[in-house]
Amino acid sequence: MARTIRICKSHVRRAALVWFLSALLFFLLFRMAVQSSSQNDRFTDSESPSLNSERSKLYDKMARDLDEHGAVFLRGGETSQSLSISDIFSLKDGAVTPILKAANPPVRANVLYMSPEFSVPISQAVRDVFLPYFDKAIWFQNSSLYHFSMFHASHHIEPVPATNDEIEAEANAVKAVAETLCPLKIILDRVVLTSTGVLVGCWQVISGTDPMVIRLKLRDSLPRAPQKQLYDPALLHTSFARLLGHPKFSPEELQKHPDELQFFHELVTCLNNKVRGFEAIVSELWYVEEFDVLALALNGRIMARRFHMGC
């Protein structure tokens, strides 16, 4: 009798253990499922705080760049796409002229487009602050072509040649992606000046499809695209201008601003006071063939296919 009870007990214990382990397994799987679905939410939730804080960290880093590396552009530095400033501009008779070089094969870029409704007021503020001091030693981004670089189907570092048919197929794939994207409401987080002299607007997302998701979708739809892309996938930036030389001071101003780097910071702060917090709506994704190197930045030859974001 005692023995039976013991066996029963141990049987019960074993059954309880099996039940307990099953319950534990179920609980763990359930937790994993919940976690992975909330990770997916992280990418589809438009007001994604974690991605905005990731962007903030990137922008902090970009803002430190000038102090950490100094004004490299004054020493004939490189641009963000590893082209030397002296390669892309000439200062002829005091006038800035971009030196356009054919891109062979053409670069195929996917960019978000900012309409003049939003770009013109920003462009005006940039001019108001910088033109008085830089006169001709500055290149302003054409306000008709303010854009956020998302994903390259081919770039100059890793060219992916394509036939006309392949280009059509890529454009159609991008159009299909655009139809699934929700227009973005964005806010200008800050303007920074990089050590390469580029004045960059750094944006945060209020609502709409996050740039991280847009890039993931474009990568899926453009399998031949270069593995290595040019920018961090969270980044949402547009370049406003490129400084090409020293600020010009009258003799009394020169005394007021002995430290050039400090003066750059003051100008950037002044611009931030005007434009920080500016909100914009972005609702077009462009598939752009750039027939010249940096054509979108330098008013080179482009062929743009414009797609409305359809969600």
Ligand X SMILES: *[C@@H]1O[C@H](CO)[C@@H](O)[C@H](O)[C@H]1NC(C)=O
- Positions touching ligand X (CB under 6 A) are 142, 144-145, 299
| Closest CA relative to residue 241, chosen from 133, 102, 108, 93 | 133
Which residues are CB-neighbours of 145 under 8 A, at least 6 positions away?
296, 299
Cα distances (angstroms) measured from residue 149 to each of 71, 97, 119, 129, 270: 24, 23, 15, 25, 26
In the complex, what is the shortest distance from the CB of residue 176 to ligand X, in angstroms, rounded to a whole number?
26
In the complex, what is the shortest distance from the CB of residue 122 to ligand X, in angstroms, rounded to a whole number?
15
247 neighbors 134 (Cβ within 8 angstroms)? yes
In the complex, what is the shortest distance from the CB of residue 149 to ligand X, in angstroms, rounded to a whole number?
17
Q: Which is nearer to ligand X, 62 or 112 (CB)?
A: 112
In the complex, what is the shortest distance from the CB of residue 120 to ligand X, in angstroms, rounded to a whole number?
12
In the complex, what is the shortest distance from the CB of residue 147 to ligand X, in angstroms, rounded to a whole number?
11
184 neighbors 205 (Cβ within 8 angstroms)? yes
What is the spatial distance between Cα 32 and Cα 30, in angstroms, rounded to a whole number?
5
DSSP label at 75? Answer: G
As given in the structure block, the two tokens for residue 117 are 């409704």
Q: Which is nearer to ligand X, 214 or 241 (CB)?
A: 241
Q: Which is nearer to ligand X, 129 or 296 (CB)?
A: 296
Q: Which is nearer to ligand X, 74 or 120 (CB)?
A: 120
In the complex, what is the shortest distance from the CB of residue 68 to ligand X, in angstroms, rounded to a whole number?
33
96 neighbors 141 (Cβ within 8 angstroms)? no
In the complex, what is the shortest distance from the CB of residue 295 to ligand X, in angstroms, rounded to a whole number?
10
214 neighbors 176 (Cβ within 8 angstroms)? no
In the complex, what is the shortest distance from the CB of residue 303 to ligand X, in angstroms, rounded to a whole number?
11
Q: Which is nearer to ligand X, 86 or 142 (CB)?
A: 142
263 neighbors 69 (Cβ within 8 angstroms)? no
| Closest CA relative to residue 14, chosen from 141, 25, 46, 22 | 22
Q: Which is nearer to ligand X, 145 or 186 (CB)?
A: 145
As given in the structure block, the two tokens for residue 257 are 């601003």
> Which residue has tokens 């903030």?
56
Q: Which is nearer to ligand X, 146 or 231 (CB)?
A: 146
Cα distances (angstroms) measured from residue 105 to each of 37, 165, 220: 41, 15, 22
φ, ψ of residue 207 to 5 degrees: the values are -155, 165
Q: Which is nearer to ligand X, 38 or 142 (CB)?
A: 142
As given in the structure block, the two tokens for residue 17 are 């253990």
